[in-house]
A = this chain, B = another copy of it.
Amino acid sequence: MTSLSESRRAVVVGTGLIGGSIGLALRKQGWHVTGRDLDPQRADRALALGALDAIGDDPSAAVTFVCTPVSSIAGEARAALTGGGVVTDVGGVKGPIVAAVDHPRFVGGHPMAGSEQEGMDGADPDLFEGATWVLTPTVATDAAAYTLVRSIVTSLGADVVALAPERHDELVATVSHVPHLAAATLMALAADGATEQGPMLRLAAGGFRDMTRIAAGHPGIWPDICAENRDAIVEALDRLVAALFAMRDLVVLGDRPGLLAALERARAARVNLPARVAHDAELVEIRVPVPDRPGVLAEITTLLGELDVNIEDLEIAHSVEGERGVLVLVVQEAAAEGTRAALVSRGFHPALRPLS
């Protein structure tokens, strides 16, 4: 595992809402943050609002956050990797970016946080408090690079979920990209009607307003996202259309029990939709002896990501040069047995210890 700089110096490339919020949050934690933006005025604004200590690059940075539009992330990340630090990004699509960068010191990332406000003026150091932040380590990812990014992101208040890049892309197609396209479609249909037919939009009550709120966002990021995540989006759109046809059948047939069951299922799921994660549970430490081979960290963290086990803390301990290390995971008590079983099924030998 690489020895990385322990300097608390970071670079933020792209000082929009997310980049600006990262700058503010890092500086609050005592980091020295340098940054830049394609638009110099935006970088000036980030400096003025306290998201940056200085404008420009920083060759001695321990970490670079690439917060540019999706289509320029890979290029910026490769450029940043010519330095010795770790590089991560915040793009909404991960598979193509991770494949294009393909470097042990690059850790793909995607914070699931946003704001109605756009740009640096919407930036908020607490934006990530309690938010889910996906990281996408692969077999090529350096364990020390991953743990550094993970610890920084966790220090910003986020809950890390580790997923394979392609898995992330499938999931966000379903819970973000296709819902966005559907909201825009519903809004456009109502507006179409409204052109000829005055009262349409006056009949739109609160539910319609909620459903179409995301369609009010600037569309600039979407052509990139749709291009980079095309296959997963098309697949999720097809599932949506098939499900709408099934709903149509229930309506046409007047199948009241079927309709009620479908809506009741959706209701139960929505009521149980997790809000931001609570942190008051009992914790358990799981120590897993691991071979010091590439990919073992990615294998374990993405396994727990798939199980929806939140890793409260993570550390690589007692690494014996070239031989074995011990991966120390901290998880909530309720998840401990499931985690142990999953690790055992993959051939690991975990040991559990309650933290109290």
- A residues with CB within 8 A of B: 112-114, 131-132, 134, 159, 161, 163, 168, 171-172, 174-176, 178-191, 193-194, 197-220, 222-223, 226-227, 230, 233-234, 236-241, 243-245, 247-248, 250-252, 254, 256, 259-260, 262-267, 269-274, 277, 305-309
Given contacts A198-B307, A222-B259, contact A176 B208 (CB under 8 A): yes
Contact B222 A263 (CB under 8 A): yes
Between-chain CB contacts (< 8 Å), 11 pairs:
A175-B208, A182-B186, A184-B267, A185-B266, A201-B273, A210-B211, A212-B266, A215-B270, A223-B260, A234-B252, A241-B245
- Output the nearest chain B residue to A239 by Cβ-Cβ distance: B189
Of the candidates B180, B193, B202, which one forms a contact with A174 in the assembled complex, judged by CB atoms under 8 Å apart?
A: B193
Q: Determine how close the nearest CB of chain B comes to the CB of A191; give it in whole angstroms.
A: 4
Instruction: Give the complex CA separation of A244 and B239 in angstroms.
Output: 11
Instruction: Give the complex CA separation of A4 and B222 in angstroms.
Output: 59
Enumerate chain B residues within 8 angstroms of A205, measured Cβ to Cβ. 112-114, 131-132, 175-176
**7 more A-B contacts (CB under 8 A) besides A112-B204, A175-B203, A189-B243?**
A114-B206, A182-B244, A189-B240, A199-B308, A210-B211, A216-B271, A230-B252
Given contacts A175-B190, A251-B230, contact A262 B203 (CB under 8 A): no
Enumerate chain B residues within 8 angstroms of A206, measured Cβ to Cβ. 114
Q: Determine how close the nearest CB of chain B comes to the CB of A196; give it in whole angstroms.
A: 9
Enumerate chain B residues within 8 angstroms of A247, measured Cβ to Cβ. 181, 184-185, 237
Enumerate chain B residues within 8 angstroms of A194, measured Cβ to Cβ. 269
Given contacts A256-B227, A259-B222, A305-B199, contact A207 B176 (CB under 8 A): yes
Contact A132 B203 (CB under 8 A): yes
Of the candidates B198, B244, B256, which one forms a contact with A305 in the assembled complex, judged by CB atoms under 8 Å apart?
A: B198
